[in-house]
Amino acid sequence: MRLNRIRVARAQLAMLALSLVLGAVLAAARAETNPNFPGVVCETIQVPMRDGTLLTTDKYSPTSGGRLPVIMLRNPYGHLIGTGCFKGLGGSLAPLVQHGYHALAQECRGTSTAHGPFREMVQEAQDGYDAIEWAGTQTWSTGKVGMTSGSYLGLTQWQPAIHAPPHLAAINPQITASDYHDNWQYVNGVFDLWFGMSWPTLAFAGDQVQRFGRANNWPPGQADSIEAQFNANANANLTTTWAWQLPLTNFTPLTTMAPYFYDWVDHAFYDQYWAALDVERRYPDVKVPALVVSDWFDIFQVGSFRNYHGMRASGGTASARAGTKLYVGAYGHAGDSGKPTFGSDAALLPTDTLVAFYDRYLKGIDNGWENTPNVKMYVLVPPDTGNTGSGFYLTGASYPLPGSETLDLYLASGGHANSSKGDGRLVGAPAEHGRPDYFDFDPADPVPTTGGNMCCNGVLVPNGAQDQTAVEQRKDVLVYSTGPLGADVAAIGPVQVKLWARSSAPDTDFTAKLVDVHLDGVSHNVLDRVVRASLRNGSKLPPDKIESGKSYEYTIALGNAGTIFRKGHLIRLEISSSNFPHYARNLNTGENSNFTSETAVARQTVLHDEDHPSRLVLSVAPDVRAP
């Protein structure tokens, strides 16, 4: 770890030098218009932070001018998706300007043409605060500032919001997290390996190459060539060698281009590094309402729901609590390339809905926003056969919906639930004397990731809904299924697995996957997550290793479902100990794969009897049916 800290320090110094060389202030702002957005004018300006660092910002305004509220997004992905007036994510602001707002699309420190070094995550609270206060004190501003957009751009909203900048009036965080240890870089204490490697590779490495090139006056085309070489190398090695690296502290390809990767690795457990970023500890400090947008197959789904509930329960003002709403779509970061797909959720957050939200809190218009449904969901309807599903919109006063019930489905078998060919069942009551199931978990031969709530690079590791048939043939996957359903079951709400298990290892993982089996026998994943045995009491608490051979009850919170299990389909649960490369492998030695490489095979036992009632717990809406 000390060697990696030295690498990180050197990389950060290099980035600081880069920021000093990177450039003089851009040329004087020049106003631009776009025929697709009549009445809107844009200019690129430089906005100073408290330390004097200048951040490139595209400012959109009505051609009529005037003193108006401001809507802002702060974006680190300029090189990836484009920057400049009416380009990239900034172009999404133009329609809002047509409704009587100024808008700012700002590049995050150390990305694209913004000055300074990029210190992922940790820089956004201070810079976001400064940007909000700058926007709120300009002569063309009314002093009311709102924020919008998602993923990392959602983080750039929550991070300043927990410090309550005086001019912030509303936020619209989409597909983003809450606790950046528990549902961003780690999942219940397990490193989200695929995200940790693929996200900086896809999103940031190329940008940093281009910045190095500009700082060092590389000849035309050299930076493009090096970026292309890096990308080709990453695509060739991500699944074949990079993800298999043990220990992670010896992984070197991101040392220069993404040194913060090693911060994530070094801080394997929840500590002050993560606590400083944790939104869940700070909802009372957030004084403004949040229009939270999530998706059922999004990597940050769990955090988005926590943000909604946290703000409704303990937001820092009555307005923050009453004005916070939750909108849930289908795909999120996973995209709509899964099999099956579920139609389009494009109508989930139309411009007029977003305008109504901002009109209420930035303009003070009493338009009844607080009285609109608190929850709007696009409920998924899988197909009976084939890969073309559908969906429908549903609104409610709360999540779960009023009148929701809990459905417990208990694990049962004759002791041979291994694979879909085994005898595993989901039944309505625990067996009095159920025989346990066994499997061996070998970290050298992990269960391969097949779909799920993931990001990034879905070409190499497909995400979203995917056919589980091949995974369910493995002997180290226990499979439990209901019989064909006699009626639709609307699973809308949180999903948990209460698993009684023991292991021969001092520490190990258990994974759970909720699956829908169609009439044609194809099965697709609905939700999946993992729990680390030593963190069974919660990932914010210190690790506590297990005793070999002792039985423990593990709670695996899978997240939130919004799907119809249709009549004739089966509800299925898969239990195993790995899902790779999505999650880093537990080495079964009691040591963390971030720091060691020795592995051992663990003998896993899953118990399901009257004294050990292992079960799947669904929240169901009994009155909801697919149209």
Residue 488 exposed, middle or buried by CB count within 10 Å (0-12, 13-18, 19+) = middle
Looking up tokens 């924020």, which residue turns up? Answer: 147
251-275 mean pLDDT: 95
Decide which of 601 and 7 is more confident: 601
Q: Cα separation of 45 and 335, whole Å?
A: 33
As beta bridge partners, residue 376 has: 327, 395
- Asked whether residue 496 is assigned to any structural domain, the reply reads yes
Residue 593 falls inside a structural domain: yes
Q: How confident is the model at residue 431 (pLDDT cuts 50, 70, 90)?
A: confident
- Number of domain units in the chain: 2
Whether 598 is covered by a domain: the verdict is yes
**Does residue 414 sit within a domain?**
yes
Mean of the per-residue pLDDT values of the chain: 94
Determine if residue 624 is left, alpha or beta; phi over 0 gives left, psi from -120 to 50 gives alpha, anything else beta.
Answer: beta
Asked whether the predicted pLDDT for residue 8 surpasses 60, the reply is no
Biggest distance spanned by C-alpha atoms of the chain: 79
Beta-strand pair 141-150/489-503: unpaired
Shared domain for 75 and 159, answered yes or no, is: yes
Q: Average of pLDDT values for 243-249?
A: 96
- In angstroms and rounded to an integer, the radius of gyration of the C-alpha atoms of the chain is 25
Same domain, 465 and 325: no
pLDDT of residue 21: 34
* Residue 13: closest CA among 256, 217, 248, 262: 256
**How much is the average pLDDT of 508-537?**
97
Same domain as 459, residue 315 = no
Give domain status of residue 229, yes or no: no
Indicate whether 326 and 451 sit together in one domain.
no
- Is the per-residue pLDDT at 303 higher than 70? yes
pLDDT at 277 over 90: yes
- Confidence at residue 432, expressed as pLDDT on a 0 to 100 scale: 84
Q: Positive or negative CA dihedral for 620, 464, 461, 582?
A: negative
pLDDT of residue 433: 83
Whether the pLDDT of residue 19 is over 80: the answer is: no
Q: 204-228 burial by CB neighbour count: b if 16+ within 10 A, else e?
A: bbbbbbbbbbebeebeeeebeebbe
**pLDDT surpasses 70 at 323:** yes
Looking up residue 453, the CATH number of its domain turns out to be 2.60.120.260
Do 572 and 458 share a domain, yes or no? yes
The label of the residue with tokens 């995200």 reads: 195
Output the pLDDT for position 434. 87
pLDDT greater than 70 at residue 22 = no
Contact 564, 620 (CB under 8 A): no
Strand pairing of 54-62 and 523-532? unpaired
Q: Are strands 375-381 and 325-329 parallel, antiparallel or unpaired?
A: parallel
Q: Domain boundary at 336, 366, 388, which?
A: 336
Listed residues 336, 364, 390: the one ending a domain = 336
In a domain, 59, yes or no: yes
What is the pLDDT at residue 18? 35
Task: Give the CATH number of the domain where residue 306 resides.
Answer: 3.40.50.1820
Of 286, 315, 336, which residue constitutes the final position of a domain?
A: 336
Q: Is residue 200 part of a domain?
A: no
Compute, in degrees rounded to 10, the torsion defined by CA atoms 484, 490, 494, 498: -20
Question: Smallest Cα–Cα separation from 69: which of 426, 275, 358?
Answer: 358
163 three-class SS = coil
Give the model's confidence band at 29: pLDDT under 50 very low, under 70 low, under 90 confident, else very high: low
- Judge whether 546 lies within some domain: yes
Query: 608 lies in which domain range?
Result: 405-620
* Residue 16: per-residue pLDDT: 37
The answer, yes or no, to whether residue 558 has pLDDT greater than 50, is yes
- Residue 450 carries which side chain, given as an amino acid letter? T
| 8-state DSSP, 577 | S
- The model's confidence at residue 71, banded by pLDDT at 50, 70 and 90, is very high
Residue 15 in this model has a pLDDT that exceeds 90: no
| 323 and 462 together in one domain | no
Bigger pLDDT: 163 or 434?
163
Instruction: Calculate mean pLDDT across residues 197-201.
Output: 96
Determine contact, residues 387/570, Cβ cutoff 8 Å.
no
Percentage of residues of the chain with pLDDT beyond 70: 95
Residues 468, 592: one domain? yes
425 and 288 part of one domain: no
3-state SS record for 352-389: HHHHHHHHHHHCCCCCCHHHCCCEEEEEEECCCCCCEC
What's the CA gap between 331 and 354, in Å, rounded? 20
Calculate mean pLDDT across residues 378-389. Answer: 97
Q: Which tokens hold the place of 459? A: 């070409």
- pLDDT tens for 475-493 read 999 999 999 999 999 999 9
- Asked if 597 and 246 count as a contact pair (C-beta separation under 8 A), the reply is yes
Q: Verify that 485 and 570 share a domain, yes or no.
A: yes
Are the C-beta atoms of 62 and 37 separated by less than 8 Å? no
Name the residue with higher pLDDT: 34 or 8: 34
Tell me the pLDDT band of 24, cut-offs 50, 70 and 90.
very low
Percentage of the chain beyond pLDDT 90 is 93
Q: Are residues 423 and 320 in the same domain?
A: no
Residue 109: which of 69, 191, 187, 53 has the closest Cα? 53
> What's the rounded Cα separation, in Å, for the pair 12 and 20?
13
Residues 459 and 599 in one domain: yes
The secondary structure of 401-460 as a DSSP string is PTT-EEEEEEEE-SS--BSTTS--EEESS--TTPPPEEEEE-TTSPPBP-SBS--S-TTT
Same domain, 440 and 517: yes
